[in-house]
Amino acid sequence: MAVSTVLAGARVVLPTGIVENGRVIVEGGRISGSTPEGTPSLDLAGHWVVPGFVDMHNHGGGGASFTSGTVDEVLHGVHTHRLHGTTTAVASFVTGDMDFLGRRAGLLSELAEQGEIAGIHFEGPFISPCRKGAHDATLLRDPDPAEVRKLIDAARGQAKMVTLATELPGGIDSVRLLAEHGVIAAIGHTDATYEQTVEAIDAGATVATHLYNAMPGLGHRTPGPIAALLEDERITVELINDGTHLHPAALELAFHHKGADRVAFITDAMDAAGFGDGMYDLGTLAVEVKDGVARLVEGGSIAGSTLTLDRAFKRAVTIDRLPVESVVRAISANPARLLGIDDRVGSLEPGKDADLVVLDENFDVKGVMRRGTWVVDPQVA
């Protein structure tokens, strides 16, 4: 049941800045602008209240895969991430057979229609064999617009993003198709040149899938896709801030060039997120997770992450020394805007869903609320 309460005394992060000794009023599952008589109050002095996290690139968690799990397993994976503050998540698929991906899209579109997930992201099969990462090379294909259309139709209006190597035959036409249908065209797993990347941005691409990873490095004579993606204000860059995928200097470079409004923290999580080390499958490929790092058994490529967004948040403010307001934009407001759901989530404003996270002074999660219901009961003294 949704609660009616006033969260009082915390540092509240609003779009306008940090409010000391702030108040968040929750009424009927939404944030309210007024306090009904008799509404109970919860003292959160010494804590932070921030918007619920929005993860636009997530493959699973809690031992469950969004690509291959049953509906109950997918829901378990979603709940695992909610326990870590992610109140909104897009289900990402790794490369698979076209018919299989179409069936999965149809199945998970029902969860999107029910509000359990925020949509579907196809990361493959339209990616470069040169930069495939942890994707099955035998299932890759060029981005034929007709096949791209087939997948977004299978998702019944719930396709939010498609990652493509836009330099491949059909790539630019596929970007245009996605833009026309209101689906994010994301440049990733790409071997594109600088010039080819600029062409894709001009055609309508708006996101860089996990910037730096699965693309050529930045060169002083051949700048490649990274330079084009960093310099263009139309592009928002995904960053996996787990200490494995990015050096702190690379993260700082991205924030310096993009500004806080054009960065989105993601997990790129696979099954092991919130679950532990061991052997897993990522699509058709075997993965070993050791010391929290996921790698393919064959070849050793990094295979997604075991990250949860609360860890990304804490690392950003305590290790990377980013301002809390900037991290909130990157982890909540920006992905919500890209997904077209910022009228409901992404910030603590009256009328929006009461999705929020309570953090202590060390930026550890002490409470999670989704749509006015506590997913994690607030643990405050």
One DSSP character per residue, 134-200 reads SS-GGG-----HHHHHHHHHHTTT-EEEEEE-TTSTTHHHHHHHHHHTT-EEEE-S----HHHHHHH
pLDDT for 358: 98
What is the domain extent for residue 20? 5-50+346-376
In this structure, the answer to whether residues 46 and 63 fall within a common structural domain is: no
pLDDT band for position 258 (cuts 50, 70, 90) = very high
Exposure letters 254-289 (e unless 16+ CB within 10 A, then b): bbebbebebbbbbbbbbbbbbbeeeebebbbbebbb
Per-residue pLDDT tens for 21-61?
A: 999 999 989 999 877 777 788 999 999 999 999 999 999 99
Q: State yes or no: pLDDT of 348 exceeds 70.
A: yes
Q: Give the largest Cα separation in the chain, rounded.
A: 67
- Per-residue pLDDT tens digits for 305-340: 999 999 999 999 999 999 999 999 999 999 999 999
Q: Given 268, 310, 342, 353, which residue is catalytic?
A: 268
225 lies in a domain? Answer: no
Instruction: Please tell me whether residues 16 and 155 are part of one structural domain.
Output: no
- Residue 62 domain-assigned (yes or no): yes
Q: What is the mean pLDDT of residues 344-371?
A: 97
User: Is residue 15 one of the residues assigned to a domain?
Assistant: yes
Beta bridge partners of 356: 51, 369
**Statement to judge: residues 286 and 193 lie in one domain:** yes
> Cβ distance 134 to 301 under 8 Å?
yes
Q: Which CATH number goes with the domain that contains 20?
A: 2.30.40.10
Q: Which amino acid is at 243?
A: G
Mean pLDDT of 242-254: 96
Percentage of the chain exceeding pLDDT 90 = 94
Residue 163 φ/ψ, nearest 5 degrees: -90, 130
Cβ neighbours around 75 below 10 Å, total: 17
The string of pLDDT tens digits covering residues 139-184 is 999 999 999 999 999 999 999 999 999 999 999 999 999 999 999 9
Residue 224 in domain? no
**CATH label of the domain that carries residue 172:** 3.20.20.140
Answer whether residue 256 is part of any domain: no
What is the per-residue pLDDT for 283?
A: 87
Phi, psi of 22, deg, nearest 5: -85, 175
Determine, yes or no, domain membership for 148: yes
Is residue 149 located within the same domain as residue 41?
A: no
Is the domain of 237 the same as that of 207? yes
The structure's pTM equals 0.96
Kindly state the helix (H) or strand (E) to which residue 357 belongs, with its residue range. Answer: strand 356-359
Work out the angle at residue 67's Cα, subtended by the Cα atoms of residues 66 and 73, and round it to the nearest 5 degrees.
Answer: 40
Per the structure block, which two tokens stand in for 129?
């064999």
Residue 330 sits in the same domain as residue 352: no
Do both 21 and 112 map to the same domain? no
**99 and 42 within one domain:** no
Determine whether 268 is an active site residue. yes
The single residue listed with the structure tokens 């953090």 is 359
As beta bridge partners, residue 365 has 359
DSSP 218: P
Please answer whether residues 85 and 365 qualify as being in contact, where contact means their C-beta atoms are separated by less than 8 angstroms: yes
CA atoms of 147 and 368, how far apart (whole Å) = 40
Is the same domain home to 176 and 78? yes
* pLDDT tens readout for residues 69-106: 999 999 999 999 999 999 999 999 999 999 999 999 99
Residue 207, both tokens: 């996101």
Number of domains in the chain: 2
Alpha-carbon distances of 29 from 275, 355, 369, rounded to whole Å: 30, 9, 9
* CB within 8 Å of 186: residues ≥ 6 apart: 161, 162, 163, 164, 205, 206, 207, 208, 209, 238
CA distances from 121 to 4, 37, 176 (A): 34, 44, 17
> Is residue 374 pLDDT above 90, yes or no?
yes
The number of beta carbons lying within 10 Å of the beta carbon of residue 299 is 10
Rounded distance, CA 161 to CA 157, Å? Answer: 11
Residue 358 lies in a domain: yes
The pLDDT assigned to 40 comes to: 85
Name the token pair of 117.
């997930």
69: number of Cβ within 10 Å: 20
DSSP character string of 101-118: HHHHHHHHHHHHHTTSS-
Domain check: are 75 and 43 in the same one?
no
Whole-angstrom distance, CA of residue 91 vs CA of residue 159: 10
**Average pLDDT value for the chain:** 96
Indicate whether 1 pLDDT > 80: no
Helices then strands, counting H and E runs in the chain, come out as 10, 21
